[in-house]
Amino acid sequence: MTRPLSLLLTLAICSLLIPSCTKKEEGGHAKIIGVTLLTRGHVFYKDLEEGLRTEAVKNNYELIVTAGEFDLGKQIAQIEDFVARKVDAIIVCPVDSKGIGSGIRKANQAKIPVFTADIAAFEGDVVSHIASDNELGGKRAAEYLAKVLHGKGKIAIINQPTVTSVLDRIAGFKKELEKFPDITVVADVNGDGVRDRSLQVSSDILQAHPDLDGIFGINDDSALGALDAVQQFKRKNVVIIGYDATPPAVAAILRNTSLKADVVQYPKKIGSSTISAIKDYFAGYSVEKRYAVEVGIVDREALRKIPVQ
């Protein structure tokens, strides 16, 4: 009894999928692009998906959007399905930079071009990687901090030195600071990118440096942890810069706290740039190995004009 039932269910599900398959026949030679995102449950990826879709519509590409939902096995299976369907290109936001290699290699064997967006893959052949320019993000943070501090003061970094994108942010940050010899980095500590640890290390820094002027948090949890510490010790003069402009950080900036500005990424632009790179590839143009998408910085003034989310 259960077996016919499950068979029936499978058939029903398949029949639901068929309309999306047949669509391409009508379009004639419309290119099909398979997409597997990290997740569809996060605003950042929703925006990235929107960027992909708007640009794909412009170019008459058909997108098949799936997501690994933090499950590497699932994501590899999705790539295998794309290979079986003989799509024209595959876009991956890897669940795991190393583990995704085996999936990408399967696409390589089938001679289907692979593009990565937002998160890079360390193994397999990838035509191009499109992601935020983290170095520029660090530079923007440094510029802003230097402007608020009038080019002079003592600052600290709440770091997470085990993550590659963070290392890029710090590199850009420090490079920009070289232009301001009167700004010194007096502390560079690891907050593990989480709010509770960042609070702990920030309170230590505030103890060690009673004359601290600014803090750069490599992500919003680091910056918010620093803000917790600054509020605890009532050190209102310390300026904090965060990264990512998540809702709690945006709220803190709008409340006029010590968190003064945040670096923002533009996920929609990452999406549209990815499709543009694929378009260039289809047209036979040479494609850069890496496309860095610009980032911006928002403070209270900017947020009041255009809300981020």
Q: Residues interacting with another protein, by CB under 8 A?
A: 41-42, 159, 161, 186-190, 192, 194-197, 199-201, 203-205, 207-208, 210, 221, 224-225, 228, 231-233, 247-248, 251
Query: 164 or 207: whose CB is closer to another protein?
Result: 207
CB of 48 to another protein, least distance (A): 16
Query: 88 or 262: whose CB is closer to another protein?
Result: 262
Query: 185 or 292: whose CB is closer to another protein?
Result: 185
CB of 169 to another protein, least distance (A): 16
CA-to-CA separations, 158 to 60, 239, 241, in angstroms, rounded: 45, 13, 10
CB of 229 to another protein, least distance (A): 9
Convert 35-62 to b/e letters by CB count within 10 Å (16 or more is b). bbbbeeeeebbebbbebbbebbeeeebb
Q: Where are the strands (E) in the chain, listed by range?
A: 32-37, 62-67, 89-92, 114-117, 128-132, 153-159, 183-190, 214-217, 239-243, 259-264, 290-293, 296-299
CB of 111 to another protein, least distance (A): 36
Query: 252 or 293: whose CB is closer to another protein?
Result: 252
Q: Where are the alpha helices (DSSP H) in 100-219?
A: 101-109, 134-148, 164-177, 195-208
CB of 221 to another protein, least distance (A): 8
Contact 243, 217 (CB under 8 A): yes
Query: 84 or 208: whose CB is closer to another protein?
Result: 208
Say which residue the tokens 């269910």 belong to: 9
